[in-house]
Amino acid sequence: MDRDQISNQAYLKESQYKTPDNLRARMQLHERFNTNSYPWFTWVFDHFNLQPGMQVLEIGCGPAELWQHNRHRVPDGVRLVLGDLSAGMVREARRVLRAGDPFFLNLDVQGIPLADERFDLVLANHMLYHVPDIDRAVAEIARVLKPGGLLAAATNGIQ
């Protein structure tokens, strides 16, 4: 992916992330050549401190690998909303997580179609570098977080 395509939403939706295949190929490379013996999805989940009754939004959920790997660790009563810019990713997340009760939606972080101050935790892992207007995205995340809520984000990029 060249620099011009990193935040080109049409390219991301219609090509790069139309299906989970490209993302899964990259994840497999990380799994295969990772030198850390502690799995990434376990490590990330360890930092959430999920409690019954919490409302959680994951933006850029991809094929829901985080939740698939930690399905047995989600406390009863946690309400999950999983969203992605790519309709293909949302379809795959729904397919992967047949069991459980997450709500799935197609969304753009620059205009989250959900109520103000709804979520205790918003996750945005390895996706913010794809967003054309980061300031707008962060403002939207802040809007949907409850007072005292937490944003958990991991990112990478060219610089």
Residue 9: which region, alpha, beta or left (left: phi > 0; alpha: psi -120 to 50)? alpha
Round the average pLDDT of the chain to a whole number and report it: 86
**Calpha distance 78→122 (Å, rounded):** 13
Query: What is the identity of the amino acid at 48?
Result: F
Mean pLDDT: which of 4-8, 17-21, 42-46, 155-159 is highest? 42-46
The model's pTM: 0.80
Taking only the tens place, the pLDDT of each residue in 86-117 is 999 899 999 988 756 789 999 999 999 999 99
**Calpha distance 72→1 (Å, rounded):** 35
pLDDT of residue 6: 65
Taking only the tens place, the pLDDT of each residue in 30-60 is 677 667 788 888 999 999 999 999 999 999 9
Sign of CA dihedral 71, 72, 74, 80: positive
